[in-house]
């Protein structure tokens, strides 16, 4: 079964704004087994919007229109859909009362213009909006449906989930959906694809999607079958060989990002961690502390951006620094050992490297990175050469550092 999504609103035709509601709606529709075959953005123009709704409904049994349900003259979705279906708009006094009551709860008086929001397409169900004033509408038409949703994402999401999903499930032939998400790091997307595509390319169902960015790869498998049992069996059949091929490059099976996985490992091991950052300037600490409760294992650390800070804060030997340079295996190891010594953390991670755009006095090329991990026994550095711009190199480095610690914790677990 197919659906089309239309976003109404002139602000979505500017150079600054993109319609993101359709991404959420697409994910929800795909989960029902519904494919989205076209999307459109139309400005605040009643006749154009009516044309778009009419055309979409001629091709697809489900048409969702988001936005344009506000109280002002610019909000033309109600009128456009009525026009497209050749129906009247009917005033619902009980909706006007609900809107008025909502204003009263906020200690405000309803503005007269809000009465526009109480008009509903003839024969349609009004969909209550508990996060805003604009009700949605569910308009059935010759076997198909036009669904009107408010534009603000938190209103749209809640209304779709509570009001539309139950109705759509009755409309759409039943399908059981089961998904598997593997998060992987430490290899390029192209290598991963070469490795696992011989497995997943044999199957149209489950659908396999690979998303990569910032040194992180997500492998999504979505199985759609007539029963839950079949979907789970199919997912296991395709998922097991993929998991075997990726091995310990898989760091998460529940969607958790790497900083959460590493944080849980640290917490379970009753271990603590500190950082000493040159290249990343604080980005690694920032990632650790993105996680609520990270104070249980993350002590803090040092942003040792200048050479003086490496010596003064971390106790790196100035002669070692002068001899090997700030971007070297030896300096990274000394930084990690120093951070561990001063903070008394179980582990310390140190990063140094060249983010560019220029490579400076160190003569190491842009993208050269050393990550060192100090543990109770030793401090050992790993070298990598990244490509890309300053931001990419820094982000990849934090991913690499977290993964170095993850692998160390796996060995000890």
Rule CB under 8 A: which residues touch its own copies?
12-16, 18-20, 23-24, 26-27, 30, 35-43, 45, 48, 52, 55, 59, 209, 211, 275, 277-278, 280-286, 288-290, 292, 294-295, 298-306, 308-309, 312-313, 342-343, 355-358, 390-391, 394
Instruction: Quote the tokens at residue 107.
Output: 């200690």
From 380, 382, 385, select the one nearest 371 (Cα to Cα).
382
The CB-of-120 to its own copies minimum distance in angstroms stands at 26
Q: Which is nearer to its own copies, 292 or 376 (CB)?
A: 292
DSSP 305-331: -SHHHHHHHH---HHHHHHH-SSSHHH
> How many Å apart are CA 65 and CA 350, to the nearest integer?
51
Q: What angle do CA 272, 276, 282 make, to 5 degrees?
A: 100
The CB-of-41 to its own copies minimum distance in angstroms stands at 4
The CB-of-272 to its own copies minimum distance in angstroms stands at 9
Q: Which is nearer to its own copies, 191 or 389 (CB)?
A: 389
Question: With b meaning 16 or more CB within 10 Å and e meaning fewer, what string describes 138-163?
Answer: bbebeebbbbbbbbbeebbbbbbeeb
Our CA dihedral for 144, 77, 23, 231, rounded to 10 degrees, sits at -20
Instruction: Quote the tokens at residue 356.
Output: 């560019």
Q: Which is nearer to its own copies, 16 or 94 (CB)?
A: 16
The CB-of-112 to its own copies minimum distance in angstroms stands at 21
Q: Which is nearer to its own copies, 139 or 284 (CB)?
A: 284
Q: Which is nearer to its own copies, 95 or 184 (CB)?
A: 184
Q: Which is nearer to its own copies, 261 or 291 (CB)?
A: 291
From 19, 18, 36, select the one nearest 27 (Cα to Cα).
36
- What angle, 0 to 180 degrees and rounded to 10, lies between the N-to-C axes of helices 390-412 and 258-268? 30
The CB-of-91 to its own copies minimum distance in angstroms stands at 30
The CB-of-94 to its own copies minimum distance in angstroms stands at 32
């Amino acid at each position: 079964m197919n659906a089309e999504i239309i976003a109404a609103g002139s602000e979505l035709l500017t150079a600054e704004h993109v319609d993101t509601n359709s991404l959420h709606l697409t994910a929800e529709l795909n989960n029902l087994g519904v494919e989205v075959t076209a999307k459109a953005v139309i400005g605040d123009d009643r006749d154009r919007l009516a044309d778009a709704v009419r055309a979409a409904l001629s091709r697809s049994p489900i048409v969702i229109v988001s936005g344009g349900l506000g109280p002002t003259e610019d909000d033309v979705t109600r009128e456009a859909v009525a026009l497209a279906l050749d129906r009247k708009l009917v005033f619902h006094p009980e909706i006007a009362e609900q809107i008025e009551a909502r204003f009263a709860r906020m200690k405000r008086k309803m503005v007269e213009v809000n009465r526009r929001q109480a008009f509903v397409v003839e024969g349609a169900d009004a969909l209550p909006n508990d996060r805003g004033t604009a009700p949605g509408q569910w308009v059935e038409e010759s076997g198909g449906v036009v669904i009107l949703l408010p534009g603000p994402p938190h209103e749209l999401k809640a209304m779709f989930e509570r009001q539309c999903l139950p109705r759509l499930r009755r409309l759409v032939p039943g399908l059981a959906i089961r998904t598997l998400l593997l998060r992987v790091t430490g290899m390029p997307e192209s290598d991963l694809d070469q490795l696992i595509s011989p497995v997943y390319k044999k199957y149209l169902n489950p659908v396999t999607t690979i998303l990569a960015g910032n040194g992180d790869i997500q492998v999504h498998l979505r199985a759609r079958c007539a029963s839950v049992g079949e979907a789970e069996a199919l997912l296991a059949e395709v998922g097991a060989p993929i998991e075997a091929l990726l091995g310990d490059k898989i760091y998460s099976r529940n969607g958790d990002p790497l900083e959460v996985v590493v944080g849980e490992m640290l917490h379970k091991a009753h271990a603590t961690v500190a950082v000493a950052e040159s290249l990343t300037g604080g980005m690694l600490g920032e990632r650790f502390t993105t996680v609520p409760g990270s104070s249980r294992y993350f002590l803090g650390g040092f942003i040792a951006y200048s050479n003086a800070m490496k010596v003064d804060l971390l106790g790196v030997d100035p002669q070692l620094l002068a001899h090997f340079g700030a971007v070297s295996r030896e300096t990274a190891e000394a930084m990690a050992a120093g951070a561990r010594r001063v903070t008394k953390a179980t582990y310390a991670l140190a990063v140094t490297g060249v983010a560019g755009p220029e490579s400076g006095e160190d003569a190491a090329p842009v993208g050269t990175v050393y990550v060192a991990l100090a543990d109770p026994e030793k401090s050992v550095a790993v070298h990598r050469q990244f490509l890309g711009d300053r931001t990419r190199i820094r982000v990849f480095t934090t991913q690499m550092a977290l993964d170095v610690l993850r692998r160390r914790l796996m060995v000890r677990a």
